[in-house]
Amino acid sequence: MQMARRRWWANKWYVPAFALVLGIVLWVAQWVGGNPRSGAEMFAIMVGAGLIFLLGGRSETIRGLRGDGRDERFAALDLKATAFAGMVVITCVIAGFVVELARGEDGNPYALLGAAGGIAYVIAVLVLRFRS
Amino acid sequence: MKNEVRNLRTALGFSQEELAKATGVSRQTINSIEKERYTPSLPLAIALARYFQRTVEEVFDADGKA
């Protein structure tokens, strides 16, 4: 009985390739913004991160993160870690929103980020509620 | 969750790696189950029980929470 269904992205190349593409996008964006040197540094960082994922296959954590070593336990870890990261982000967004209000501003962009997060959460709950 | 996975596996002379391959999970997941740090999903619990030719209740003790 196969426990973990293989996803199309669950191979050793997807995350390194994504890091490379993101690095190029960041470099181009920085170039357009007049900071090609800073863009090159970002590109180098992303290439480095991609190489760590590509060559770090001996580590269970690396294999789990990039997908080819992911089973149900790692999927559960990933879900909990994502929820924790989401809580940290939304806490920072709320804190930023309050600080902006205290400064006499309108609370943006934190208000928009908070609204996007809240709406996404409610939609996800509703969809999952009807699918389960 | 308390379980007999380690006892059953060693009695059959299999390694964690072999059991992991047979059930489609990583060796670390088998290790976590044996150390009672990870409670497997129902499909994995059934797969393990089938592998040992036991019932799920014989392999896992739902009352003896880890």
A72 near B CB under 8 A: yes
Residue A36 has a CB neighbour count (10 Å cut-off) of 14
Of A131 and A25, the structure prediction assigns the larger pLDDT to A25
What is the mean predicted confidence (pLDDT) over A24-35? 94
Distance CA A46, CA A37 (A): 14
Residue A3 has pLDDT above 60, yes or no: no
- Residues B13 and B4: their CA atoms lie apart, in Å, by 14
Q: Where are the domains of chain B?
A: 2-55
Chain A residue closest in CA terms to B45: A3
pLDDT at B21: 92
What's the pLDDT at B64? 66
- Burial track A55-79 (b if 16+ CB lie within 10 A, e otherwise): eeeeebebbbbbbbbbbbbbeeeee
Taking CB atoms and an 8 Å cutoff, what residues of chain B touch A64? 26
B23 part of contact set with chain A, CB < 8 Å: yes
Report whether A16 contacts A47 (CB < 8 A).
no
Q: What is the pLDDT of residue B62?
A: 79
B30 to chain A: closest CA residue: A73
B15-33 pLDDT tens trace: 999 999 999 999 999 999 9
- Closest-CA distance, B54 to chain A, in angstroms, reads 16
CATH class of B2-55: mainly alpha
**Nearest residue on chain B to A64, alpha-carbon basis:** B26
Q: Do B47 and A71 touch (CB under 8 A)?
A: no
Structure tokens at A12: 């050793």
Shortest distance, CA A95 to any CA of chain B (angstroms): 35
Record the tokens describing residue A95, joined without a space.
């804190």
* pTM (two decimals): 0.75
H helices present in B1-66, as ranges: 5-12, 16-23, 27-34, 42-51, 56-59
Express each pLDDT in A50-106 by its tens digit. Answer: 999 999 888 888 888 888 878 899 999 999 999 999 999 999 999 999 999 999 999
Supply the pLDDT for residue A2.
Answer: 47
Read off the pLDDT band of A12 (50, 70, 90). confident
pLDDT per residue over A121-131, tens digit each?
Answer: 999 999 999 98
Whether residue A74 lies within 8 A of chain B, CB to CB, comes out as yes
Indicate whether B66 pLDDT > 80. Answer: no
Tell me the C-alpha to C-alpha distance, in Å, between residue A107 and each of A42, A51, A94, A120: 29, 39, 10, 19
- B17 CB within 8 Å of a chain A CB: no
